[in-house]
Amino acid sequence: MNPSTNYYKSFFTAPQAVYVGRRLHLAFGSGERMNIGFEGLPGEDENNRYYAMTDLDPYELKLAPYPTLTESNLNEILGPSSCENILGRGFFLKVGDGEKFVTNTEIFQHYVFAGSFIPDNTGDPCTSKGSGSLYAFRINCGQPLFSDEWGLPIIKIDLGEGMPTDPQISVGVNGKDNRIYIEKSGADLESIAAPPLNFDDGSLIYWREVTQ
């Protein structure tokens, strides 16, 4: 396959969905889980993406279906976004060479939480672990949750060495002091502050399907 003419994205986790107001939003990211050491192809636009988009007819009540969405129908986020910048059906962000989304997505208080991994194939293959990151942004507009040491918005934080596990949400008393927990290779556990709950906006806060 010639990557300059054709490259297929790999999706190994199911989309997550949540209503914001009366509109259903879907979120999902791509990543080469079957080739975790793939470091990308410099100069080629095969980089992985994270997508967030709306489903205007989730119950398929419309006689004629809406046209299939493509990236041309979405806004590309190139930096810190605000909710005023996103128009149309949604947005996507493109990550760097070799970076891949490797965890299931969690959605909490309208924020997407997704872990990514960048492989490190240099040095001893038995000890090279690569590095993980946690992305967190509003599903309807891409506005980041985190900020850097100067108070500027950032869409992801560094988790350090190792591949992250699925983000897990812990809700505190009265919806405050909520936490996100992520375990990495080597059993290191990260505890990160999650947004407080807002019980007054009338939207779904958190949803989890329980299967046997």
Question: How would DSSP label each residue in 140-166?
Answer: TT--BSEE-TTS-EESEEEEEES-B--
Specify the range with the lowest mean pLDDT, choosing from 24-33, 34-43, 120-129: 120-129
Q: Is the pLDDT at 1 greater than 50, yes or no?
A: no
Q: Please say if the pLDDT value at position 58 is more than 60.
A: yes
Contacting residues for 55 by C-beta, under 8 A, at least 6 apart: 17, 24, 25, 26
Joined together, the tokens standing for residue 74 give 């979405």
Instruction: Report residue 2's pLDDT band, with 50, 70 and 90 as the boundaries.
Output: very low
Q: Does residue 48 carry a pLDDT above 90?
A: yes
Mean pLDDT of the chain: 84
Range 1-5 average pLDDT: 45
pLDDT tens by residue, 102-128: 999 999 989 999 999 998 876 554 555
CA 204 to chain centre: 19
User: What digits encode the pLDDT tens for the residues 148-169?
Assistant: 989 889 999 999 888 899 999 9
- Structure tokens of 114? 């997704």
pLDDT, residue 112, reads 95
**Percentage of the chain lying above the pLDDT 90 cut:** 41
Instruction: Give me 69's structure tokens.
Output: 């969405």
Q: Give the C-alpha separation, 156 to 146, whole Å.
A: 7
Is the per-residue pLDDT at 4 higher than 60? no
Report the alpha-carbon distance of residue 91 to residue 100 in Å, rounded. Answer: 18
CA-wise closest residue to 164 among 95, 127, 114:
114
This prediction has a pTM of: 0.86
The Cα–Cα gap between 72 and 91 comes to 10
* Secondary structure E strands in the chain: 16-20, 23-29, 49-55, 75-77, 90-94, 100-101, 106-108, 111-118, 131-138, 146-147, 153-154, 156-161, 168-170, 179-183, 189-193
